[in-house]
Amino acid sequence: MKLKYLLLLSSSVLLGCTSQPRQVDASLPLVNLNQAPVGEVIDTKYWSQLDSDMYTSLSHSEFDIQLEPAYLSALGLTCRVLTIQNLTSNAHYNQVNAPVKRIACKQPRQIEGVVEQGWYLINNTVETSTVVEI
């Protein structure tokens, strides 16, 4: 009885090792690509700095903007995390605003029939969070 099970097990292992896996054709897109860019366009004067990993910050009169290295998003877009600190303090409350992290991605856009790559601030998935302490 044990010999039958051993023979069946060994033959199924050998059979599994000799046959090829199925060939998958991934030609059918699962989602339709949105042709319109998502988010708010960033001023074109910053695009060259966002394109280069050499820059770690952007100069702005009202904000201190720190740049993290570029990465490839799940949608295939080149993106960077921006840490934005408001330089103007709120004198009424005697406090400085906390830094905010935003994502900027490079997306194609079409203007007058010409397609160009531009940088956009992506909308946050979570707009606000509320912390309640009791």
pLDDT the model gives residue 40: 86
pLDDT reported for residue 72: 92
What is the mean pLDDT of the segment spanning 48-55?
Answer: 91
Confidence (pLDDT) at 109: 76
Q: Which amino acid is at 47?
A: W
Domain boundaries of the chain, sorted by first residue: 35-88+99-125
